[in-house]
Amino acid sequence: MSDSPQPYRVLARKYRPRNFRELIGQDAMVQTLGNAIKRGRLAHAFLMTGVRGVGKTSTARLIAKALNCIGEDGHGGPTIDPCGVCEPCRAIAEGRHIDVVEMDAASHTGVDDVREIIEAVRYAAVSARYKIYIIDEVHMLSKNAFNALLKTLEEPPAHVKFLFATTEVNKVPVTVLSRCQRFDLRRIPAELLAGHFAHVVEAEGVGAEADALSLIAQAAEGSARDGLSILDQAIAHAEMGEGEPMVTATQVRDMLGLSDRGSVRRLLGLLLEGDTAALLSGVRDQYALGVEPLALMRGLLELVHAVTLVKAGRDVVSPGQSAEEREALADWASHLGFAPLHRLWQLLLKGHDEVAGAILPIESCEMALLRIMHAATMPDPGELARLLREGGPAAAATPGAVAAAPSAGPAANLPATFEDLIEALWQKGKGQLAQELHDCVGLVRYAPPELEYRATPQLPSDFATRLTQTLREMTGSGWRVTASDAAAQPTLLEREEAAKAEARADILEIPVVKAAMAAFPDAALVETDQPEQWSA
């Protein structure tokens, strides 16, 4: 009679790291632990925190193995590279070591559960070097349970180590945090995840396209466990060919309801061109292919963010990025200014939130994109105000102005120039802000409701916050006030002083004045109370 087949183990369990070399993306923590073990500077309590699936519990088990490993010859000591073959290593890996106790705080929250630990720590380890308590999701312990643990946690017996893991470190009392050596496990970069998944599919005898693994890595959002779960699903979804199953990027997009990058680029191009019919048709085509409206909005957000980074001079490289995409990003970055990109981002973000909570997601997506397309042709509020003021009805009748007029609201009444803004602040009784703008601000760009400036050393550090709040209250519009290191105009105070110096020099060159100054060497040219009047 043949043996029954072994039950299938999901990839997230099968490929848990067995040693610190297999723990990806946490090099800083591994180095710190390794140095502590070599130097004999081991803390009595460790706290691992981070998002789901980055290796908190796995790290705790690896630390338990590292501290209790005795080596293949049975005479080894604590090591950052446990052998994995000695009895303590194998017992810990299989979860059967009597001296390594794992407790799930989510189901053992009370003080009685902690009291059992407090009673047990008094006794020495049965067969291991250290008695180790691993408490997962430690933030779930009750307040009384934490209080009961404090004294033991601060001064445990030398043979006891505590290893805590949590996804919500902010819920752990400070009194507990101060007694632990804390490790913040980082999200794993998509590039590392994709490489890890490549090794996994190779070990599983499965074929996979590089783009497919990149898509899975991006969908995992830094979590190895989430990524392996998605990969497990993708392998099950893959079609069986003549030999091994093949995971393709198209299948992964279909499975996750993602839009491919090329489609998102085409939609953004149509959005910027203002082609309404083609845009709506493209959105419906993606929806018919199974792309979720929320995923579509997210794809557009990611693309606008990438364009903005290129505009700012940062080299954007992501898994699966094609030459066509890099060319498109560079082209958009060269033609779009920061102000339109920021406006596009804000409108897409608002549309994303609307789609996320909408009863009719695809309809909300279409309406959001139409609103964005409409706003893309609008002039800046300051430009609209100038057109209406200087050009009269003819200027206001332009298509952009007509489109903007119903929706601009209070934005059309924003101060048209930097000097008008200062005057408006004086009239509203905001003399301090007006004086700071006049004396200490070098203007880089003024395009209401955006103000970019270069500060002088005399400008208070909270200036931008105070000005933003005041302008919002005055105008009813949201302002963006940002400091910059870009080239700026002189401050208004510097301009006025320069004008006075020039006027003084001109007066001193007048023949009569020159003769008077020569006749009376002690005379001085002073300014009177009346502007632009001088007396000797």
Looking at the structure, tell me whether residues 357 and 444 fall in a common domain. no
User: Can you list the pairs that 149-157 forms with residues at least 24 positions away whose Cβ atoms lie under 8 Å?
Assistant: 149/114, 149/117, 149/118, 149/176, 150/175, 150/176, 150/179, 152/117, 152/118, 152/121, 153/44, 153/45, 153/179, 153/180, 154/179, 156/44, 156/45, 156/121, 157/121, 157/122, 157/124
Query: Do residues 33 and 162 share a domain?
Result: yes
The answer on 349 and 463 residing in a single domain is: no
What does the pLDDT look like over 137-176, one tens digit per residue? 899 988 888 888 888 888 888 889 999 999 888 989 999 9
- Residues 235 and 116 both lie in one domain: no
Q: Per the domain annotation, does 4 fall within a domain?
A: no
Q: Which pLDDT score is estimated for 367? A: 92
pLDDT of residue 206: 87
Please report the pLDDT score of residue 240 as a whole number. 64
pLDDT band at 3 (very low <50, low <70, confident <90, very high): low
| Residue pLDDT, tens place only, 296-345 | 999 899 889 988 888 887 766 665 566 677 788 888 888 888 888 888 89
Same domain, 96 and 172: yes
Per-residue pLDDT of 79-116, as tens digits, reads: 888 888 898 888 888 888 898 988 888 888 888 888 88
Q: What is the pLDDT of residues 443-485, one digit of tens each?
A: 888 888 888 888 888 888 788 888 888 888 888 777 888 888 8
pLDDT average, residue stretch 265-270: 88
Residue 280 has pLDDT above 50, yes or no: yes
Query: 407 and 276, same structural domain?
Result: no
Domain count, the chain: 6
Percent of the chain at pLDDT exceeding 70: 85
Burial-class residue 291 by CB neighbours within 10 Å (0-12, 13-18, 19+).
buried
Percent of the chain with pLDDT over 90: 6
Domain end, chosen from 167, 184, 201, is at 184
Q: Are residues 100 and 173 in the same domain?
A: yes
What is the spatial distance between Cα 424 and Cα 466, in angstroms, rounded to a whole number?
15
For residues 272 and 335, state if they share a domain.
Answer: yes
Inside any domain, residue 2: no
Judged by average pLDDT, the poorest of 139-143, 201-205, 521-525 is: 521-525
* Same domain, residue pair 179 and 198: no
pLDDT at 499 over 70: yes
Say how many CA atoms lie within 13 Å of 223 toward its Cβ.
16
Domain with 231 in it: 190-256
Rg (CA), the chain: 33
Same domain, 237 and 338: no
Task: Please give the full DSSP string across 323-364, using - where no structure is assigned.
Answer: HHHHHHHHHHHHH--HHHHHHHHHHHHHHHHHHHT-SSHHHH
